[in-house]
Amino acid sequence: MATDEPTKQKLWGGRFTGKTDPLMHAFNQSLSYDKRMHDADIRGSIAYAKSLCLSGLLTKEEEQKMIDGLQRVGQEWKDGVFVIKEDDEDIHTANERRLSELIGPLGGKLHTGRSRNDQVATDMRLWLLDQVGELEHALKSVIGVIVERADKEKDILMPGYTHLQRAQPIRWSHLILFHAFSLHADLQRLQQLIPRISVLPLGSGPLAGNPFLVDRDFLAKELGFQSVAENSMWGVADRDFIAEFLMWSSLCMVHLSKLAEDLIIYSTSEFGFITLSDAYSTGSSVMPQKKNPDSLELLRGKTGRVFGDMSGFLMTLKGLPSTYNKDLQEDKEPLFDAVDTIGASLRIAEGVFSTLKVNAEKMKSALTMDMLATELAEYLVRKGMPFRETHHVSGRAVALAESLQVPISELTLEQYKKLCPLFEEDVVGVFDFEASVERRAAIGGPSLQMIERQVSVLRKELNQ
């Protein structure tokens, strides 16, 4: 039986004489999905070649030849002409195999002192750092669209809800800035992840470190890492940065889902507060009058998908022995899926928000006088009565108006005085929605001044 050519041997094949079951090869391979890390793998390998030269394991000429070869491999991926071979298990195997085809036996020196364990951990961190940068930009774009919309539409009043019941009048801008601040907190959390992702594993070997004294500080600087993994076992086995990113993704998707739910409700015929653009809506196959908010429903639905990525991966991590185990190959698909899903979701959210139409008159017509019952209680507070007592008086006024089937604004001064002698003719000033909103001018409130403050705060944060 003919033996495989050296270039076709698996990286781990030295002590194995039997052939791998084709099903096992398919079960074991990850190239079908980890090939998207081809650029990170090339970058890491170029940096490692430089470190081998610094350690005296490559001549300057060999270093340059190896770097040229790696750049050619990288270009093949970019041009879409890289040819995957049957025995390529993963992106690392494929790249090294192709490098050896291009530059000969010298390609075999690249793996000196390096393991796929520290190589894949490095690739994952490099790749994720790139994605975090893109997600940071996408988050800022969504927040920016909301902030600019809030600034332009701050004169629009609408009901604010608790328990989906009309509660108090607010500004439309106040509502959407609520979502903007939730996403801003996600932006902060994403930025806080970066130092824990930006830790260099390369130079940790399979688990016990590198025997050739490669300069890991040099590697970190070359690849743009903020720090070096101080423990080689931790360096190859740690995937907490992926778990933490998946946790972040789940929370950010929850915020997008809540935003979507508000817009879904407000776009219904029953509310009619907003109208979605045709670009982010679909129709019914049966009912031609329907305009479905599928973009928002998918945002809501994909939240469960991303949470599933997180919970599934945590179960993979649970109970793993030290250090590297093949179970860790299961880190890539949930991470890739979460990155793709949240990236697309942020772009859809931005598109929906930048194109929807606000129906200001529908919002205004939904304001009802009973929403000013709290204002009535606060009126009496200003007259010197304790709030707990004013609350009861206001409640009796609401009950009286309901029994007479009139708004509380149509109760007479005499009727009000029977409820409490502190009521005066100026009680009519309570029944003004704009005035009610403007009275709430403490930091965080919906008054015009406070809306402008919130807009200013977020603009400043986005520009930093």
Q: Which residue has the higher pLDDT, 291 or 124?
A: 124
Instruction: Check if CATH label 3.50.50.60 holds for domain 20-112.
Output: no
Angle at 315 between CA 312 and CA 321, to 5 degrees: 140
8 Å CB contact between 33 and 330 = no
Determine the Cα–Cα distance for residues 115 and 205; give it in Å rounded to an integer.
5
Listed in order, the ranges of the chain carrying CATH 1.20.200.10 are: 117-212+225-365
Its CATH architecture, for the domain 369-431, is: Orthogonal Bundle (1.10)
Which pLDDT belongs to residue 339? 98
pLDDT tens digits for range 358-387: 999 999 999 999 999 998 999 999 989 898
* Residue 1 pLDDT: 33
Active site residue 284: yes
| Mean pLDDT for all residues in the chain | 92
Give the separation between CA 309 and CA 297, rounded to whole angstroms: 19
CA distance 373 to 184: 33
Amino acid at 257: S
Which tens digits make up the pLDDT trace of 92-151?
999 999 999 999 999 999 999 999 999 999 999 999 999 999 999 999 999 999 999 999
Report the amino acid identity of residue 219.
Answer: L
Tell me which of 32, 284, 311, 365 is the catalytic residue: 284
Give the pLDDT confidence of 49-96 residue by residue, as tens digits: 999 999 999 999 999 999 999 999 999 999 999 999 988 889 999 999
Q: Is 25 a catalytic residue?
A: no
Confidence of residue 27 (pLDDT cuts 50, 70, 90): confident
Q: Please give the average per-residue pLDDT across 202-219, as a whole number.
A: 95
Give me the CATH code for the 117-212+225-365 domain, please. 1.20.200.10
> In angstroms, rounded to a whole number, what is the distance separating the alpha carbons of residues 55 and 49?
10
> 25-29, 221-225, 292-296, 341-345: lowest mean pLDDT where?
25-29
Q: What are phi and psi of 68, to 5 degrees?
A: -60, -45
Question: Looking at the chain, which residues constitute the CATH 1.10.275.10 domain(s)?
Answer: 20-112
Mean local confidence (pLDDT), 182-199: 98
- Looking at the chain, the domain(s) classified CATH 1.10.40.30 span 369-431
Q: Which of 163, 269, 285, 403 is catalytic?
A: 163
pLDDT of amino acid 23: 81
Write down the pTM of the prediction: 0.90
